[in-house]
């Protein structure tokens, strides 16, 4: 009998905990500034970049648009001033230039009751894996959420000696402004 009561109590506890997690999803669009480096070189030159005659970063900085989808789960929402959030964001950049630059990010952070949000997490893109830092504000109008975020991802220094010559280059830092929307249930 104790096992049955324990099992029922555990099941009800899990259902209650699951009910405290709110999930949201919606589109994201934005623009990204990329400092001089191999990523900007690829945006300017594509596969025509000749590393034999050009130095990495020689084409300057670049801009690109971003388009994608964001999935958000809120947790630790006890009705207080701060809510924990976990986000997954899948984006494609460079379409305005005929490029396909996919990226996926996972961000863990917090949102205050007045809408201020911040987070940190890994990003996977064609330039490799890096860490991103985000800050923003979630504007609410009824059940409509409009998140606006500033995202920074530092460039990575790459040491390469694959062809017998040793050289170092930077992928270039990325600064993005993203906006989206989703509806609370």
Q: How many whole angstroms separate alpha carbon 30 and alpha carbon 132?
A: 15
What is the residue extent of each domain of the chain?
22-183
Which residues, 6+ apart, have CB-to-CB distance to 131 below 8 Å? 120, 121, 122, 123, 153, 154
CA 126 to chain centre: 14
Residue 66: Cβ within 10 Å count: 22
Contact status, residue 84 vs residue 69, Cβ threshold 8 Å: no
* Confidence (pLDDT) at 16: 46
* Confidence (pLDDT) at 185: 64
pLDDT tens, the chain, 185 aa long: 665 555 555 555 544 444 455 688 999 999 999 998 877 777 877 666 666 666 776 778 889 999 999 999 988 777 778 999 999 999 999 999 888 999 999 999 999 989 999 999 999 998 889 999 999 999 988 889 999 999 999 988 877 776 666 667 778 899 999 999 988 76
CATH topology of domain 22-183: Porin (2.40.160)
Class of residue 2 by CB neighbours under 10 A (exposed 0-12, middle 13-18, buried 19+): exposed
* Confidence (pLDDT) at 70: 95
């Amino acid at each position: 009998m104790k096992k049955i009561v324990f099992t029922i109590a555990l099941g009800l506890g899990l259902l209650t905990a699951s009910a405290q997690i709110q999930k949201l999803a919606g589109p994201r669009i934005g623009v990204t500034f990329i400092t001089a480096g191999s990523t900007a070189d690829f945006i300017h030159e594509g596969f025509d970049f000749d590393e034999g005659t050009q130095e990495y970063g020689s084409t300057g900085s670049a801009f690109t648009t971003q388009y994608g989808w964001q999935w958000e789960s809120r947790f630790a929402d006890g009705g207080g001033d701060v809510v924990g959030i976990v986000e997954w964001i899948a984006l494609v950049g460079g379409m305005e230039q005929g490029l396909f630059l996919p990226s996926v990010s996972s961000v863990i952070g917090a949102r205050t009751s007045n809408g201020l949000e911040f987070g940190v997490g890994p990003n996977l893109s064609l330039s490799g894996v890096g860490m991103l830092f985000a800050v923003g504000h979630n504007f609410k109008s009824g059940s409509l959420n409009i998140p606006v975020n500033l995202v920074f991802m530092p460039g990575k220094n790459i040491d390469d000696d694959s062809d017998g010559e040793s050289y170092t280059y930077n992928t270039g830092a990325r600064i993005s402004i993203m906006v989206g929307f989703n509806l609370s249930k």
